């Protein structure tokens, strides 16, 4: 059994541009958090937006050295970047952007969502890249809801969507640089599921909504994150309410981290170079 390390019960709230009111649940600067290969977890919303004539969001900005994974639960997002990629994602879709050696990109509410307004809800996860891949060419994966396999583990409405890695013999569509499992879970009230995860891997559970009991010892509520010790192979989750959860597990990247805003490299010299390359202040 993987033992619970601690629960993050309150994230830091801020706006990203004018379209994403987010809470940061952990980052690579979080004290006492061994979260590698993951770097940051932001939860946007749920937030109600009124109809508007101008799209809200965040304009062109740089990234280097890692990947951003956006999982959309409500609303619509349009993406454009200087590597020539563009895409549209709606509820249930995932955008997996590998910045690698760097690009500029923008993320905006779609034209239709802007006109109509509505509720926006998304998760953005930053995933680190090993040093040998940090200066690869950028890559973009638009993973639509229809392409994400799902499993019904019980007869009560629970659902597991496999975005990356594998759940038993069901494989997710995302291509990753390091071994990662990323599962989007709906757990019906009073149902229990046990998940087998690799020994030594980082394991994190984020509760978007609901209430779950972890290993029969602790309770995870809305917008809280559970960080687990790497030793052990199993976690057990029991829903006390209908719950929406995100389970993240990955092989740690045992390399130094140097980060500044939208850049995550291995040394301060590489950060200074990134700032110079993008003329970023």
Local confidence band at 129 (pLDDT 50, 70, 90 cut-offs): very high
Which tens digits make up the pLDDT trace of 181-231? 999 999 999 999 999 999 999 999 999 999 999 999 999 999 999 999 999
Residue with tokens 């937030």: 47
Which tens digits make up the pLDDT trace of 72-85? 999 999 999 999 99
Name the pTM for this structure: 0.96
The answer to whether 173 and 144 are in contact (CB under 8 A) is no
Instruction: Supply the pLDDT for residue 33.
Output: 65
Give the list of residues 6+ apart from residue 279 with CB closer than 8 angstroms, or none: none
Which tens digits make up the pLDDT trace of 30-58? 766 689 999 999 999 899 999 999 999 99
Q: Which of 26-30, 49-53, 114-118 has the lowest mean pLDDT?
A: 26-30
Which tens digits make up the pLDDT trace of 185-196? 999 999 999 999
Q: Report the pLDDT averaged over residues 23-32.
A: 84
Local confidence band at 12 (pLDDT 50, 70, 90 cut-offs): confident
Q: Is the pLDDT of residue 249 over 80?
A: yes
Tell me the torsion sign for CA atoms 182, 184, 190, 193.
negative
Q: How far apart are CA 105 and CA 258, in angstroms?
A: 22
Average pLDDT, the chain: 95
What's 132's DSSP letter? G
Q: How far apart are CA 22 and CA 15, in angstroms?
A: 6
Edge-to-edge order in the sheet of strand 150-151:
4-8, 224-228, 202-209, 243-250, 180-187, 159-164, 150-151
């Amino acid at each position: 059994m993987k033992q619970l390390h601690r629960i993050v019960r309150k994230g830091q709230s801020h706006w990203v541009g004018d379209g994403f009111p987010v809470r940061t649940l952990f980052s690579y600067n979080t004290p006492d958090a061994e979260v590698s290969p993951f770097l940051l977890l932001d939860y946007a919303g749920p937030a109600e937006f009124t109809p508007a004539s101008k799209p809200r969001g965040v304009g062109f900005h740089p990234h280097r050295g890692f990947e951003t994974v956006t999982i959309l639960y409500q609303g619509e997002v349009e993406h454009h970047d200087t590597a020539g990629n563009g895409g549209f994602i709606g509820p249930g879709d995932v955008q997996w952007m590998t910045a690698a050696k760097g690009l500029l990109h923008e993320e905006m509410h779609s034209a239709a969502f802007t006109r109509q307004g509505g509720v926006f809800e998304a998760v953005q996860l930053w995933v680190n890249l090993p040093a040998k891949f940090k200066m690869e060419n950028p890559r973009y994966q638009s993973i639509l809801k229809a392409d994400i396999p799902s499993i019904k583990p019980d007869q009560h409405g629970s659902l597991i969507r496999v975005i990356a890695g594998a759940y038993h013999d069901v494989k997710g569509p995302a291509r990753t640089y390091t071994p990662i499992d990323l599962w989007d879970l709906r757990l019906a009230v009073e149902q229990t599921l046990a998940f087998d995860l690799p020994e030594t891997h980082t394991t994190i559970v984020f509760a978007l909504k609901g209430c779950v009991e972890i290993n029969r010892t602790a309770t995870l509520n809305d917008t809280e994150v559970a960080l687990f010790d790497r030793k052990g192979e199993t976690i057990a989750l029991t829903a006390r309410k209908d719950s929406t959860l995100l389970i993240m597990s990955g092989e740690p990247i045992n390399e130094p981290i140097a980060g500044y805003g939208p850049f995550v490299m291995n040394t301060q010299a590489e950060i200074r170079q990134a700032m110079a390359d993008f003329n970023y202040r």
